[in-house]
Amino acid sequence: MPPLSNPLSPHSVAGLSPGDRVAVNPSRWCGVCAWCREGRENLCENIYFMGSASKTPHMQGGFASSFDAVPAQCLRIPDTLPFEAAALAEPLAVCLHAVARAGDVTGRRVVLFGAGPIGLLTMLAARRKGAAELTMVDIAAAPLAFARNLGADRVIDLSGGDDELRALAASGAFDVAFEISGTPAGLASAIASVRRGGTVVQVGNLPGGAIPTPSNAVMAKEIDLKGTFRFGQEFAEAVQLIATGDVDVLKLVTARRTLEEAPEAFRLALDRSQSVKVVLTAG
């Protein structure tokens, strides 16, 4: 899989031929703004992101039989790699970026709030980056069972109370917390759970506007509270990890549906008791 000659340039073409099998990076960054030149392409002020309505005109997503992509968005994948695995490069890239934002997690004890697909992939990414212990927290049994099968060292179901989480937090059991549920309660739990001097990374989409947050603990515990947004060069890393099998993303695929079955696929994907990742296929 040859690297792109200049991954910052949306106009570079590196060995792509008609018929090549590719993974498509939904990010189309400009390559010339201050953020791009700093290597923080996800913060590009001119970015277009497939499926995003954050800019006008909106950019269409990939649920279509054909769409346009510039060459720099296309990374060749091996003939043997299923498209449905390559399609998960985007969420894995999100999670690799989130883990990178936490700094070096080697030997760290990590707690994750939210066992959805992003939570599960963040867990796998943290493991890949050397985390020593992974604790998954959620309020639903099925996703937690899935996390356990996927390699979580400990799962905590908060629907049964938070005594265990509180006791672990009091003993300083967590160096790094990832808030992935996108809920104010999740952020409050992450801040309360991480040890003094620890790191909290906000991965989930919180509600817009002001939310109550135990902010004083950020000061008093000297917590590094960090945001993470999409991904930059991690997309290529995600494709590489999937292609080599180092991260087995297909374990997250719980159902496959055709484009014609898309409405049912979305209903299924919303049911956390039945599904993790639902893949739409072209045929």
Q: Convert residues 244-283 into a mask of x (bound to Zn ion by CB under 5 A) and - (unbound).
A: ----------------------------------------
Question: In the complex, what is the shortest distance from the CB of residue 46 to Zn ion, in angstroms, rounded to a whole number?
Answer: 5
Query: Given the rule CB under 5 A, which of 6-14, 27-35, 217-225, 271-279 is the region that contacts Zn ion?
Result: 27-35
The answer to whether 36 and 8 are in contact (CB under 8 A) is yes
Which residues between 125 and 144 bind Zn ion (CB under 5 A)? none
Nearer to Zn ion by C-beta: 30 or 141? Answer: 30
Query: Given the rule CB under 5 A, which of 3-11, 25-33, 65-73, 260-268 is the region that contacts Zn ion?
Result: 25-33
Q: Can you state the angle between helices 163-170 and 184-193, rounded to 10 degrees?
A: 40
Nearer to Zn ion by C-beta: 34 or 220? Answer: 34
Which residues between 31 and 70 bind Zn ion (CB under 5 A)? 33, 36, 44
Which position among 14, 16, 22, 30 is part of the footprint of Zn ion (CB under 5 A)? Answer: 30
Nearer to Zn ion by C-beta: 14 or 30? Answer: 30
Q: The tokens of 1 are what?
A: 């899989």
Q: Please give the radius of gyration of the chain, using alpha carbons only, rounded to the nearest integer.
A: 19
Question: In the complex, what is the shortest distance from the CB of residue 41 to Zn ion, in angstroms, rounded to a whole number?
Answer: 6
Q: Convert residues 219-238 into a mask of x (bound to Zn ion by CB under 5 A) and - (unbound).
A: --------------------
Question: In the complex, what is the shortest distance from the CB of residue 43 to Zn ion, in angstroms, rounded to a whole number?
Answer: 8
Nearer to Zn ion by C-beta: 46 or 240? Answer: 46
Nearer to Zn ion by C-beta: 29 or 178? Answer: 29
- For position 121 contacting Zn ion by CB under 5 A, the verdict is no
Distance CA 15, CA 21 (A): 12
Neighbours of 73 (CB within 10 A): 21
Distance CA 63, CA 73 (A): 17
Question: In the complex, what is the shortest distance from the CB of residue 40 to Zn ion, in angstroms, rounded to a whole number?
Answer: 9
Report which secondary-structure segment, H or E, holds 147.
Answer: helix 141-150
Which residues neighbour 269 within 8 Å (Cβ) at sequence distance 6 or greater?
Answer: 275, 277, 278
Nearer to Zn ion by C-beta: 29 or 146? Answer: 29
The SS3 of residue 14 is coil
Distance CA 76, CA 18 (A): 11
The answer to whether 193 and 209 are in contact (CB under 8 A) is no
Between vectors from CA 17 to CA 16 and to CA 20, what angle results, nearest 5°?
90
Query: Given the rule CB under 5 A, which of 22-30, 82-90, 143-151, 255-263 is the region that contacts Zn ion?
Result: 22-30
Size of site (CB under 5 A) for Zn ion: 5
DSSP state of 237: H
Nearer to Zn ion by C-beta: 35 or 188? Answer: 35
Which residues neighbour 246 within 8 Å (Cβ) at sequence distance 6 or greater?
Answer: 128, 240
Contacting residues toward Zn ion, per CB under 5 A: 29-30, 33, 36, 44
